[in-house]
Structure 1
Amino acid sequence: MINKSEANTSRNHPLNFVVGAYIQPILVAYLQQGGRLSPLADAAAVNDLWMINPPETIAVEDYFRLFLSASELLKDPLLGIKAGQSAGLENFDVLGEALTNLRTKSLTLGHALHQMMTLERLVHRLGTSRIESGGGNIRLIWRAHFQQHKAARLVCESVIAGIIHLAEQLTGRLIPVMEVCFVHARPADYHEAEYQQGFRAQCRFSQSHNSIMFAADVLAWPLKNIARPSVADSTAGQVVEQVKNHVGKNLLNSPKLPQIAAILGQSERSLQRQLKQQGTSYQQLLADVRLHHAQDYLQYSNLSILQISQLLGFREQSSFNHFFLRGSGLSPKKWQEVNRAGAGSN
């Protein structure tokens, strides 16, 4: 899995590490697809306890071996994307704590990204980030330190997906990415729909850098304090926000009331009652979230209207067109023309 020269490179440089908590997104993605820990431990040359309770830091070599072993056991070359989408603030150690604190200070996504780059070296030595701006857009570039390694595709796709997912956790909104670039070549098993679903953006390969591009305006989005309340402290108003958060995360699959109620650990009837007390309903919240995210994507992404409709869970673009016209008073195309022109004149 890792050749001798690659293993010696990481072994001879003790500062090549990742924090132990960084393996958790890999394990979550692996287990969600039916993987079993014991075969993975054997393949990665570690024991089960090492994975369940990893040391504070682990060698890059061990991290690569675990990632490659999990992907090969599942026969899933897209495990990197899924691991990135499974990452939470708790997986970023000191960085996660710092970003969590930012959410209580009315700061923006731009502040969070700069904090991430400042503290990145405390979390791993897999690569470094920087931001470039131009033409009203921002490009976050991630330079991998092991770009020629066999694990590079998994790691780079995981990092890019993880940054997007982290930004969405911090803002409470789907991030309308304009473009994702990778240094590695287009995979032989490449399927556009799977990558589009994973990154919600157009993906380009064999580029000079690994990067994410989005509109500069997105950096000004405020961070949202989405600390999860305890069951005892939960109120109907908080439940509304919880429903909206979970609906936003699952729009692609057209989430239904029973699914969201189960996620929140409630019965359908109880959830409906609490929403009614707040003067709303599940269908209204679903429509509100869809419309809000549709407007973000139409204004700030490079996806076609058809692609946006699919990401929001509509089977046909015509259904999305009717929904958007009813909610905004304009067709998606006309709304996009008006708002992109307005943004450009500011």
Structure 2
Amino acid sequence: MAAASIRLHHRATIVFFKPMPTTTQAHLGGHARTVSNRIAVFAMAAAERAGVPPELFTARTGIGTRELADTNGRIDGARHRRVVELMTQLGPSARVAFERPQTLFPDFPVLGNLCLNARTLREALESFCTFRALIGEFDFLYFRETSDYARFDYIAEFAPGDGFQALANFQVIASLVRVYEEPHRTPLYVSLVCPTLPGPQDPSDFFGTQVRYDVAASRLEFPAALLDVPFGRCNSALAPFLREQAQRELLRVKRGHLFSNTVEQLIGEIITDAGDERCSSPSLLARICERLETSRWTLHRQLQTEGLHFTELEARVKFKEACRLLRETHLSVAQISEQLGFSSQSAFTRFFRTRHDAPPSAFRLSERR
């Protein structure tokens, strides 16, 4: 899911398009955009229902179960693409179906609180589109309004010919329509580019009218008159605080978009998951480039634009992991030294002392007193 740069103006007949990135922009900038790892949690559960165990999901996508335990974590573009490709290959058996109203919002409470406390449906949908980056940033919602209808068109950046991502977005939008139109149940007209879904997975009942399949574009339409009906349960005093909270959370996500942050996160993941495997600098750099699907030259050049070098990020992560291992495990200093890829225990001790007043053994004793 992604934030769309649109405004839902009152009764205007408008179309606002968020520009699609060119191939070059997508290649150089794609790693800066992210998706909440909660989307990967949904995908892993759906894949498991389709017969793909978690360890195979990790092997196919590069996303480990330990990483998914961080509720505020984000997934880089390369691995999100692998998730989408895997779900596409698995087909209808792995659809991430949203069966209850507002089902996505409990997992994104900052976004849910804002969208479910608006004065009108128009305001709720505007908030959803503005802050959809809290969920992810790899697709596009286009809005058009006339005097008769409101319409959302959906285009996926990855696997655009498969409708499961459009369906997920349309179900969230539909759930907002249902909240703000109560007690009515207006039919919502949905078209999907994907083949017809099997009977039990067909969402026509959810939308209140038959879904059309195998069409040229994924689209959701409903009467424009619903957009500006006042919502009696809106807490207007609370609304600005909820929006401020969403803005702070979005800023947190945006700050994490620095390429160096992505590289540092991947270094930590590889070192943490390495087990007994030795994380020497050359092997670590090679694995980072493989994960980001980039060359060493490009990686170094992008880090230089932020005034950083790979060895600096590596040292930062290894020191942090060394402190954790000394504090939380019973591994010997020699074992930690080997696990972190140092040529000898003395080299590790010199490294540690350049960042801490005491050697590793003294640090461990002070932490356990």
Class of the TM-score when normalised by the shorter of the 2 chains = 0.3 to 0.5
Higher relative contact order (CA 8 A, sep 6+): 2
Larger Rg, first or second structure (1 or 2): 2
